[in-house]
Amino acid sequence: MLALHAIDTLGGGHRDISFGQNKRGDRTLSARADRPACYWRLTSPVAGFNYIACYRMEEWMGMNRTFMRRLGASAPLTLLLLGSFLLLTACGGETRVATTESPAVLRPDKNEPPEAQVGAEATPAAVPSSSPSPTLTAAYEPEETDSNANKEQLESEPPLQKQRKLPQGFVYADEVIPSARLEIRYYTDYNFVGTRISGYEAPVAILTAEAAAALKAVSDELESKGYALLIYDAYRPQKAVDHFIRWSKDPEDTKTKQIFYPEVDKTKVFKLGFVASKSGHSRGSTVDLSLVDKWTGIPTDMGSPYDFFGEISAHGTKLITAEQTANRNLLKAAMVKHGFKPYNKEWWHYTLKDEPYPKKYFDFDVE
């Protein structure tokens, strides 16, 4: 006879499930079991083999008797088919109880690395800051997202060698804030001008020591909430501002219009307050930044891209969602708490209130 024995090594029980024949010669299935699932061992004195297969009791009990009759009257054929089926579903040579319960559902914690969230309930991933708001879709449709537009260009650069002759009182931001991510747009051609900006000789962020220290405090606070800083620009030489001025006076150059200023006349960007002829960045204590998930690096959705000239980029705009507003306010609250003041037209722009050089504009290169 062909018998399928259920072995419960943990519970100490022994249950049998066997195939036999009824009075009409039909294949039958009988079983005794008091638990929902276990590993099964198939034995056949005739065939002379033992085999271990993993199956749930309810799956065996659910087999249709008609299906068993259709296997035919030939015991060898039945054995061959059943053996092949079990071979495909075998799960090892040891016997143990298999649980039918689902693992506990856990909610991801932004302060835990992704590998610690295995089995966590799926939650929507943070939307990159380049994702346009529904109200902006018609105007803003870049071919590349803000978060990866510069990746290939930056990766193709030779290893970074920092210039150690910074003016007194200036530091590299990433040396004060190691967790900060840098995406220095003006070092690349992915910016509103469409080319690398004068004075940007390296993709680094430079700040006054006072601004960097205050920004470190911001970073520490937000890191405890699962975020890291994403810096787009910091100190900006005056020669870069002069480059912006030349660009604004060339009405024929509109190659980046659909991405950065679809509804704005470029000749009016200074008058409208999106760019300044004397920038706070040139004093060394102003920073353009956003937030990313500290584990994945995915940018937080702020409702509009960095350097987008339009009403949607202003604090308090009604053109973004409540969640996007909350994200902006999270950054704003931390920046204000640690001594920075926001710029109303640009959610990314902050200047240290007690800046050390309030009336001095620098022009050394970013290198």
What DSSP letter does each residue of 190-227 carry, written as one string?
-SSSSSPPTTB-SS--EEEHHHHHHHHHHHHHHHTTTE
Annotated ligand binding at 349? The verdict is yes
Confidence of residue 39 (pLDDT cuts 50, 70, 90): very low
Amino acid 261: pLDDT: 97
Task: Compute CA distances 235 → 40, 144, 179, 255, 346, whole Å.
Answer: 70, 26, 19, 26, 17
The per-residue pLDDT for range 46-99, each reduced to its tens digit, is: 444 343 333 333 344 444 444 444 444 445 555 565 566 555 555 444 433 333
Task: For helices 209-223 and 322-337, give the axis angle rounded to 10 degrees.
Answer: 130
Annotated ligand binding at 109? The verdict is no
Confidence of residue 334 (pLDDT cuts 50, 70, 90): very high
Instruction: Name the β-bridge partners of 233.
Output: 288
Q: Which contacts (CB < 8 Å, 24+ apart) does range 340-345 have?
A: 340/214, 340/215, 340/218, 340/287, 342/315, 344/314, 344/315, 344/316, 345/273, 345/274, 345/313, 345/314
Helix (H, G, I), strand (E, B) or coil at 30: strand
Tokens 């060698």 -> residue: 161
Confidence of residue 340 (pLDDT cuts 50, 70, 90): very high
Amino acid 159: pLDDT: 58
- Which element (helix H / strand E) includes 71? none
pLDDT (mean) for 101-125: 46
Q: Is this structure's pTM higher than 0.85? A: no
Amino acid 117: pLDDT: 52
Domains present along the chain, CATH in parentheses: 3-88 (no CATH), 123-352 (3.30.1380.10)
Amino acid 259: pLDDT: 96
The per-residue pLDDT for range 179-216, each reduced to its tens digit, is: 999 999 999 999 999 999 999 999 999 999 999 999 99
The per-residue pLDDT for range 249-259, each reduced to its tens digit, is: 999 999 999 99
183, 210, 346, 355: the catalytic one is 346
Alpha-carbon span 218 to 339, nearest angstrom? 9
Amino acid 301: pLDDT: 98
Burial class (CB in 10 A: 0-12, 13-18, 19+), 159: exposed
Alpha-carbon span 285 to 300, nearest angstrom? 24
Residue 119 scores a pLDDT above 70: no
Residue 31 scores a pLDDT above 50: no
Tokens 């080319």 -> residue: 195
Structure tokens at 283: 């004093």
281 φ/ψ angles, rounded to the nearest 5 degrees:
-60, -35
Amino acid 336: pLDDT: 98
Alpha-carbon span 236 to 362, nearest angstrom? 8
Confidence of residue 264 (pLDDT cuts 50, 70, 90): very high
pLDDT (mean) for 261-274: 95
Amino acid 243: pLDDT: 97
Contact partners, residue 62, CB within 8 Å, separation at least 6: none
Q: What angle do CA 130, 132, 135 make, to 5 degrees?
A: 160
Burial class (CB in 10 A: 0-12, 13-18, 19+), 185: buried
Amino acid 165: pLDDT: 83
The per-residue pLDDT for range 132-164, each reduced to its tens digit, is: 433 343 333 444 445 455 555 555 555 566 766
Structure tokens at 119: 């089995």
To the query of whether residue 346 is one of the catalytic residues in this protein, the response is yes
The per-residue pLDDT for range 218-230, each reduced to its tens digit, is: 999 999 999 999 9
Amino acid 196: pLDDT: 98
Residue 359 scores a pLDDT above 60: yes
The per-residue pLDDT for range 280-314, each reduced to its tens digit, is: 999 999 999 999 999 999 999 999 999 999 999 99
Annotated ligand binding at 315? The verdict is no
Greater model confidence, 362 or 109:
362
